[in-house]
Structure formats: C-alpha cells, structure tokens
Copies of this chain bind each other. A is one copy, B any other.
Amino acid sequence: MAHHDLQAVSQQCGDCPIRHRAVCSRCEADELARLEQIKYYRSYEAGQTVIWSGDRMDFVASVVTGIATLTQTMEDGRRQMVGLLLPSDFVGRPGRATAAYDVTATTDLVMCCFRKKPFEEMMQTTPHVAQRLLEMTLDELDAAREWMLLLGRKTAREKIASLLAIIARRDAALKPKSAKGGIVFDLPLTREEMADYLGLTLETVSRQISALKRDGVITLEGKRHVIVPDFDRLMEQTGDDSDGGYLN
C-alpha cells in the first residue's frame, strides 16, 4: 500500500481541526498547554483494530480524522455495532482500566491520545475538560437511545433509510452546501458494517438498498456513492416524525 502521510496533522492544539468540538473545546490556553504535554498522535490504517474488548487501555483519545467503530461480539460471532466514532468523538472511559468494546478503524484514522493517568488528574483539577466530557457523554447517550428505537422497532427499510439520513445530514452539515439538485455523499461503511450497525444481515442491507434505488428514493454510482434527490422523500421512509427533531 502507498505511503501514508497520516502524521501530517498539526501537533499544535491551536490549529487542530477538532479544536472547537472535542473534549478540549472549552479549555483555556493554560489548560491546552497542559494537554499538549500529555498528548500524542497515533495513526491506523483502514481495517486495523485499535483495541480489543478487554484489553488494557492506558490512554483515552479523540478522533481527529477518519472514522472508527465500537462493536460488541457474542461468543458465537454475532456482532452489534454500538457506536460510530467521527472526528471530535471521544474514546475510552476515565476511571476504567480495560476497553469495554472492540474499536476498529473503518477508514484511515488519526487519534489524539492522552495518557490516562495525567488525563484523569486533569479531570479532577480543571473543570473545563470534565464539563465538556459530560456534555459529550449526554449527547452520546441520546444517540444511543435513538438507536435503541431503531434496533427494537424499525423495519429493515426504515433502518436503512435512517442510516442514510443520518450520514446525509452529517455530510450536509460539513459541506459548504451542495447544489439543490440533491445531497451527495459516500457511504463510509461496507454492507457488512451497515448490517452490524442496524442489527441486520448484509444480504438484507443489500436488498433494501436495491429497493430504495428501485423506488427512486436514492441513486447509486458504484457501490458507495449515494445521491439523494429529495431529502424529505428519504425522511418519509425512516418512520421518524416529519420534523426530524434530532437536535433540540
């Protein structure tokens, strides 16, 4: 595989791409200076495992670029994704020695890691890190509960539509606002990963994507590139309230 320039990320918190959203977003200059001292970057290639559930974990981290997943696995191999980690999301739990879930890089990934011991000390002494972490954890809890509704009560078609809507919405928020012609994005997950996320099999995922395509709700270019001509039309397929009240 070609040479990866993953380390080409600023080592300076000041111009870090996730500076304003991550666990450090509330920090003052002096707090940032302390964080700089205990941080280091790590890169992973797409497909690599970051940590296995049960492994000792001597750091916590923020995703800087790329996408990672949290998954749980049963003995017989059944897998359920329980978190999708995007840039600025936090990994690890202060006060816990071992990882509770498998963490895997689904794309090339850069993480900003903090040594656990000093990070925990900072949590005690400076309020801004802990405050932000609480806020982020509450957001994650809301997302998890939204996901519980999806897993417990939605049909396969609704699950797929919901996932597409979430990815589309996130992409739309980042991009400068593409043409009205429709929302366009790339799926960051394989069919199997989508299945693990949605509590389905990969065959069902494939079938339902084909069905949405057949019904004109989406268009595909290749396997991963999705065009949503009418976002409201997609939302109708999710089973959610029309106003899509994801954020308060």
Residue ranges of A at the interface with B (Cβ–Cβ < 8 Å): 70, 72, 74-76, 78-80, 82-83, 93, 95-98, 100-101, 123-124, 127, 130-131, 133-135, 137-138, 140-142, 144-149, 151-153, 198-199, 239-241, 248
Contacts and interface: CB of A to CB of B under 8 A. Distances in A.
A100 B148 contact: no
Given A134-B130, A134-B134, A153 B82 contact: no
A54 B240 CA distance: 15
Contacts of A133: 134
B148 A96 contact: no
Given A96-B248, A248-B96, A141 B144 contact: yes
A143 B245 CA distance: 24
Nearest to A197: B152
Number of identical monomers bound together in the oligomeric complex: 2
Nearest to A198: B152
25 contacts: A72-B148, A74-B239, A76-B239, A78-B239, A80-B148, A80-B149, A82-B148, A83-B145, A96-B248, A98-B248, A100-B142, A100-B145, A101-B145, A123-B131, A127-B127, A130-B131, A130-B134, A133-B134, A134-B137, A140-B141, A144-B145, A148-B148, A148-B151, A151-B151, A152-B199
A74 B151 contact: no
Contacts of A151: 148, 151-152, 199
Contact of A75 (B78, B134, B241): B241
Given A70-B145, A127-B130, A145-B70, A78 B153 contact: yes
Contacts of A135: 95
Contacts of A95: 135
